Amino acid sequence: MTSISGRGCVHGIGVGILLAACAADVLTTGAEGHQLGPVVVVLLAGLTALLWPVAHRPAWFTPQLRTGVPALLSVIYTAGAVLDGTEALFGPGEIAVLLSLLFIAVRHCPPRWAVVCGVLDGVALLFTPVRFSHSFGGETLGFMLGGLVLIGLVAGLAAYLRSLDYRRTVAVTETRREERVAIAADLHDFVAHHVTGILVQTQVARMMAATRPEGLDPVLAGIERAATEALASMRRTVGVLRDTEEVDRRPVGDLAGITELTEGFASPVQKVTLHRDPTVPADIPHEIQAAAFRVVQESLTNVRRHAADATQITVALSRTRTRLSVTITDDGHGGTQLPAAAHGGGFGLVGLKERVTALGGELEAGPREGGGWEVRAGFPVDRG
């Protein structure tokens, strides 16, 4: 609140100084017996362009219109005074208005218009002394050189701030793109895993309905659990977007979650064994825990998709002094009864490799000796 009030105070002081300078221009012109009309028109056009509240500014009142029209009026005023051979004054108010418009033109106008309007504002400012002296020598040249310095300083500052705005826009765009990719990965990793499980267990339920209907209840309970977990995963993902306080803030995907993942994956025909080395601590950085969780999750999902005939799946977590290793193996031979639409697009392992390598790790996947498939991931961890 203090910062906002301070900026408002500074803005008010700047507006007050600008209005005082413009009033001085009008009073001086009247005291010298010159025509007030042209001076008032130029100053009113400039002040309107500068002080019109943003909230009430119409869409047609573009930066190029705001910065170009007052400068054009100033040039016409100077040209008229020179052609008529009459003296016309220029003062600090008009100089301040033109410099302010130059700043807006360079910083806020579209690229091509920024050049046109910036040059027009600069020309209007440089030639204001000519309307009084009708020459380019002596004091007029001195005023013009001083004006050229001011133009360079203001235009340079505006161009620098414009470059910062551009870099900020690029950074925000890149951040949003990365967030969209991360959200897509979350949806793939969590929801696809659970939905694939629902599909597999539904197929098992259909087969058991004809042979062992009395054993359907555990299968249906597994379907219900997988559907609940899918909804919870989606709720957490949407909650990240909404950033509401109601969302469960427990980190999604960690080493503890791997135990729940393997237990929930097991089915009547598939056994999952988790081997966690006691030397694997629970305080590994969360980004590494989340990546390890995703490796296990994607590997189990791929077992369902591409190796439904696997009967033994092993998940192993181990750690050396500098490395966390995650290994998932199965004894499947590639048999699956899933529809072609449920096989996935092949982006799961690609996304995993990007996650793992981004953390300085490696990911390898391939067939095992004697049959089956193996996925191996290694992550660097702190030596301490």
Reduce the DSSP state of residue 328 to 3 states and report it: strand
Under the banding of pLDDT at 50, 70 and 90, the label for residue 383 is: very low
**Band of pLDDT at residue 71, cut at 50, 70 and 90:** very high
**Which residue type occupies 27?**
L
Q: How far is Cα 72 from Cα 69, in angstroms, rounded to an integer?
A: 5
**Rounded percentage of the chain residues whose pLDDT exceeds 70:** 81
pLDDT, position 244: 44
Residue 238, pLDDT > 70, answer: no
> What is the pLDDT at residue 384?
43
Task: Confirm if 18 and 93 have CB atoms less than 8 A apart.
Answer: yes
Helix 216-242 × helix 193-211 angle, to 10°: 160
Range of lowest pLDDT (37-46, 136-145, 164-173): 136-145
In terms of pLDDT, which residue wins out, 193 or 218? 218
- Going by their DSSP bridges, the two strands 373-380 and 323-330 should be labelled as antiparallel
| Pairing of β 312-319 and β 271-276 | parallel
d(CA 381, CA 323): 5
Burial of 200 per CB tally in 10 Å (0-12, 13-18, 19+): buried
| Type of residue at 262 | T
Would you kindly state where each structural domain of the chain is located, as residue ranges?
2-134, 255-384
Contact present, 96 and 150 (Cβ < 8 Å): no
Beta strands 323-330 and 362-367: pairing type? unpaired
Q: In this predicted structure, what is the pLDDT of residue 110? A: 92
Q: What angle do CA 332, 338, 343 make, to 5 degrees?
A: 85
Whole-angstrom Cα distance, residue 92 to residue 23?
10
**177-201 confidence digits (pLDDT tens):** 776 676 666 666 666 666 777 777 7
Which listed CATH number (3.30.565.10, 3.40.50.620, 3.40.50.2000, 3.30.2140.20) goes with 255-384?
3.30.565.10
Q: Which two tokens stand for residue 315?
A: 């998940």
Q: What is the pTM for the complete model shown?
A: 0.53
Spell out the alpha helix ranges (H) of the chain: 2-31, 37-51, 63-84, 92-108, 111-126, 130-133, 139-186, 193-211, 216-242, 255-265, 286-306, 348-358
Strand partners, 272: 313
The SS3 of residue 326 is strand
Least confident range from 164-173, 214-223, 296-305, 356-365: namely 214-223
